[in-house]
Amino acid sequence: MIVENCIDSSLFPLKSSDKVDFAIETLLVMGVSALPVVDDEQILGFVDSSSLENATTKGNIKNLIKLNIGWMVNGQYHYDEAIKRFSEFNAGCLAVIDSENAFKGIVSQKSVINYLAQSYTLNAEGSVICIEMIARNYSLNELNRIIENEDAKILGVSIFNIHESSHIKVNLKLNTTFTDRIILSLQRFGYEITNTFYNQHDVSDYEERYQSLLKYLEF
C-alpha cells in the first residue's frame, strides 16, 4: 500500500543532456505531460510539454528544467499521498525517491489507478451504501456495530467533504448485496442513506430476475 508499489515500469526519466526533440517524442510515446530529469540517480527537476513547445528543438533540455518539489514523493509513503499530490499540484507525473532523495522510479496517474483496481475492496462482491451526516457525528465503531448486527461486514470506507457544509459523505463497501435490512437499521439510528450501488454482475442478475417475474405475471 505504499507509493513504491505504484511505480510505472514503462516510464523512464530524461537526462539533462537530452535534446528537446527527443524529450518531446518521449513524452508523446509515453503518453505523459511531464517527466523528471535525472543525472546520477539525483533528480534535477522536471520538464513538461508546455516548456518544450516553444523551445529550440536542436538544443538540450537543461535550461527548461523546473524544480517542482510537489512532484516528488517518498516511495515509502502511503499511496494516498500520491493521489493527493496529483490533485493538489496538478502533477504530470511523480518522481519516487528514497530517504536519501535518490531516484527510484516514476508514478503516473494510470499506474496508481491500475494498482487500486487490484484491491480486494474494489473487486469483492458486495454493495456500496452512501450516507450523509454531520462530520462530528461520524463513528466507524457505531456503523460497524449496526452493520455486523445484520450479519454483514464493512470491507472499505471512503469519506468526502461536502463543499461549504459541515456534512460529509461516507461510502461503505459491504460484503453483501442484501442491503434492505441494513438500510432500515441505519435509518432507525438516524442515518440518511443517499444511495446504494451494487456490483455490475449483481445488477444484471437482478434485472434477469425482474424480467423472469414479469414473464411469470403475464400468464
Count of beta carbons in the 10 Å neighbourhood of residue 145: 11
Structure confidence by residue, pLDDT tens digits, 143-175: 999 999 999 999 999 999 999 899 999 999 999
Q: Domains in the chain and their CATH numbers?
A: 3-116 (3.10.580.10), 121-218 (3.30.70.260)
Which set of grid coordinates corresponds to residue 19?
A: 535534446
User: What's this model's pTM, rounded to 2 decimal places?
Assistant: 0.75
Which set of grid coordinates corresponds to residue 84?
A: 493527493
Mean pLDDT lowest among 11-15, 59-63, 208-212: 208-212
| Angstrom distance (rounded) from CA 107 to CA 89 | 14
Structure confidence by residue, pLDDT tens digits, 95-110: 999 999 999 999 999 9
pLDDT at 5: 95
Structure confidence by residue, pLDDT tens digits, 65-76: 999 999 999 999
At residue 40's C-alpha, the angle toward residues 37 and 45, to 5°, is: 25
Torsion angle of the four alpha carbons 203, 209, 211, 214, in this order, in degrees rounded to the nearest 10: -140
